[in-house]
Structure 1
Amino acid sequence: MISRIATASLGLVLVGSSVFAQSIADAKKAIDAEQYQKAKSMLKNLTATQADKDENFFYLGWVYLKQDYADSAKAAFTKGIAVNAKSALNYAGLGAVARLDKDNAGATNNFNQAITLAGKNSKPYQYVGEAYLLPLTPEAKVTPADANAAIAVLQKGKTVNAKDAELLITLGNAYRSQLKSNEAYQAYSDASTIDPKNPAAKVATGVLWKFANNFEDSEKQFQDALAIDPNYGPAYREWAETDLRWSLNDPKMASVKIKAATDEYKKYLSLTDLSLESRMRYADFLILSGDYKTLQTEVSTLSQAANTNPRVYRYLGYAAYENKDYPAGLTALNTWFQKADPKRIIPRDYLYLGRLQIASGQDSSGINTLRKALELDTTQADVYGEIAKSLYAQKKYAEAGDAYKVFIAKSRTATLNDYLKEGVSYFYAFREQYFSTATPKPVADTTLLIKADTAFSYIQHKAAAPIATVALYQARANDFREPSRNTTLGYAKPYYEQYIQLVTAKQPVADADKIFLGEAYAYLGTYYEFKEKDDAKAGENFTKARENDPTNKQAVAYFARKGGASKSK
Structure 2
Amino acid sequence: MKMINKAALTISGLAMLSSSVFAQSLADAKKAIDAEQYQKAESMLKNLTQTQATKDENFFYLGWVYLKTNEPDSAKATFTKGISVNPKSALNYAGLGAVDRLDKNATSAKADLDKAVAAIDKKDLEPYVYIGKAYLLEPNPDANAAIAVLKKGIASNPKEKNPELFAALGDAYRSQLKNTDAYDNYQQALAINPKMVSAIVATGVIWKQANNFEDSEKEYRKALAIDPNYGPAYRELAETYLRWGNNTKKADAPTKYTQAVDFYKKYLDLTDRSVASRMRYADFLVYAQDYKGLEQEANDIAKIAPKDNLKVYRYLGYAAYENKNYQAGLDALNKFMSQADQKRIIPLDYLYLGRLQLAIGGQDSAAINNLRKALQLDTTQVDAYGEIAKTLYNQKKYVEAGDTYKTYIAKSRQVTLGDYLREGVSYYNAFKEQYFSTAKTKPVPDTTLLVKADSAFSYIQHHAAAPQATVALYQARANDLKEPSRNTTNGYAKPYYEQYIQLINAKTPVADADKVYLGEAYAYLGTYYEYKEKDAAKASENFTKARENDPTNKQAIAYFSKKGGGSAKGK
TM-score by length of 1: 0.89
How much has 1:471 moved relative to structure 2? 1.7
Match of 2:515? 514
Task: Give 3-state SS (helix, strand or coil) of 2:119's partner.
Answer: helix
Contact 1:22 / 1:46 at 8 angstroms: preserved in 2? Answer: no
Deviation at 1:117, TM superposition (A): 1.5
1:28-39 aligned at under 5 Å gives the runs 28-39=30-41
Give the structure 1 partner of residue 259 of structure 2. 260
Structure with bigger RCO (C-alpha 8 Å, 6+ apart): 1
Deviations 1:225-278 (A, max 9, x none): 223222222122222222322333334654443333323222221222211101
**In the alignment, does 2:337 pair up with 1:337?**
yes
Q: Distance in 1 between matches of 2:169 and 2:278?
A: 28
More displaced 10-residue stretch of structure 1: 298-307 or 72-81:
298-307
Distance in structure 2 (CA, Å) of the matches to 1:505 and 1:271: 64
1:278 has 2:277 as partner? yes
Residues 434-479 of structure 1, C-alpha deviations (whole Å, 9 max, x = no match): 4444455555444433332232233334444432222211211222
Instruction: Give distance in 1, aligned partners of 2:483 and 2:554.
Output: 19
Corresponding position of 2:146: 150
Structural mapping, 1:414-425, within 5 Å: 414-425=415-426
Q: Hey, what's the Cα distance between the residues in 1 that align with 2:302 and 2:269?
A: 21
Distance in 2 separating the partners of 1:250 and 1:323: 26
Pairwise CA distance, 1:507:
4.6
- 1 CA distance for matches of 2:237 and 2:416? 37
Q: Tell me whether 517-526 or 488-497 shows the greater mean CA deviation.
A: 488-497
Matches within 5 A, 1:277-356: 277-305=276-304, 306-307=306-307, 309-356=309-356
Q: Note closer, same or farther for the CA distance 1:112–1:20 as it changes in structure 2 (3 Å cut).
A: closer
Change (3 A) 1:540 1:345: same
Corresponding residue for 1:377? 378
Aligned pairs for 1:186-265 within 5 A: 186-251=184-249, 253-265=252-264
The one-letter code matched in structure 2 to 1:543 is T
Q: Distance in 2 between matches of 1:304 and 1:555?
A: 69
Task: Give the superposition deviation at 1:563.
Answer: 8.7
Residue in 1 aligned with 2:7? none
Go from structure 1 to structure 2 and tell me whether the alpha carbon gap of 1:230 and 1:563 turns closer, same or farther (over 3 Å shift).
closer
Select between 458-467 and 273-282 the one with higher mean Cα deviation.
458-467
2:164 maps to which residue?
166
Q: What SS class does the counterpart of residue 366 from structure 1 fall into? A: helix
Secondary structure of 1:23's match?
A: helix
Give the structure 2 partner of residue 359 of structure 1: 359
Matches for 1:51-66 after TM superposition, within 5 Å: 51-66=53-68
Q: How far apart in 2 are the matches of 1:549 and 1:234?
A: 68
Give, as a single letter, the amino acid of the residue that structure 1 aligns with 2:293: T
1:126 aligns with: 129
Instruction: Calculate percent identity across the aligned residue pairs.
Output: 71
Could you tell me which residue of structure 2 aligns to residue 27 of structure 1?
A: 29
Question: What CA distance in whole angstroms lies between the structure 2 residues aligned with 1:258 and 1:516?
Answer: 47
- Please, what is the CA RMSD of the aligned residues? 2.3
Change (3 A) 1:215 1:374: closer
Structure 2: runs of 5+ lacking an equivalent: 1-20, 566-571
**Aligned partners of 1:220, 1:453: CA distance in 2, in Å?**
54
**Cα distance in structure 1, aligned partners of 2:63 and 2:95:** 7
Match of 1:135 in 2: 138
**For structure 1, which segment, 442-451 or 167-176, has the greater mean C-alpha deviation from structure 2 after superposition?**
442-451
Which residue is 2:8 aligned to? none
Q: Deviations along 1:473-504, whole A, 9 cap, x unmatched?
A: 12112222333324423222222222223333
- Which residue in 2 is equivalent to 1:12? none
- CA–CA distance in 2 between the matches of 1:258 and 1:271? 20
Distance 1:180 1:528 in 2: 69
Give the 3 Å change call, closer, same or farther, for CA 214–465 of structure 1 in structure 2: closer
Deviation larger for 164-173 or 492-501: 492-501
Distance 1:294 1:506, change over 3 A: closer
Give the whole-Å Cα distance in 2 for the aligned partners of 1:325 and 1:209. 39
Stretch deviating more after TM superposition (502-511 or 36-45): 502-511
Shift of 1:92: 1.0
Question: Matched residues in 2 for 1:494 and 1:210: separation?
Answer: 54
Structure 1 position 36, deviation (Å): 1.0
- Structure-1 residue corresponding to 2:6: none
Q: What is residue 11 of structure 2 aligned with on the other side?
A: none
Deviation (angstroms), 1:311: 0.7
Question: Structure 1: which amino acid aligns with 2:312?
Answer: V
Query: Shift in Å at residue 166 of structure 1?
Result: 1.5
Cα separation, partners in 2 of 1:307 and 1:428, compared to 1, 3 Å: same
Equivalent residues, number: 539
The equivalent of 2:119 in structure 1 is 117
SS where residue 304 of structure 1 aligns? helix
Is structure 2 residue 451 aligned with structure 1 residue 450?
Answer: yes
Partner of 1:499: 500
2:10 equivalent in structure 1: none
> Residues 550, 339 of structure 1: CA spacing in aligned structure 2 closer, same or farther, 3 A cutoff?
same
Residue 106 (str. 1) matches residue 140 (str. 2): no
The answer (yes or no) to whether the contact 1:22–1:42 under 8 Å persists in 2 is: no
TM-score, normalised to structure 2, is: 0.89
- Distance in 1 (CA, whole Å) between partners of 2:63 and 2:556 is 82
Q: Hey, what's the Cα distance between the residues in 2 that align with 1:262 and 1:214?
A: 20
2: CA distance between counterparts of 1:186 and 1:323?
45
Q: Distance in 1 between matches of 2:130 and 2:102?
A: 14
- Which secondary structure state, in structure 2, belongs to the residue aligned with residue 118 of structure 1? coil
**Alignment match, 1:16:** none
Residue 164 of structure 1 and its aligned partner are, at CA, apart by 0.7
1:269 aligns with 2:268: yes
Q: Which moved more, 1:236-245 or 1:211-220?
A: 211-220
Q: Distance in 2 between matches of 1:556 and 1:484?
A: 22
- 1:303 maps to amino acid: A
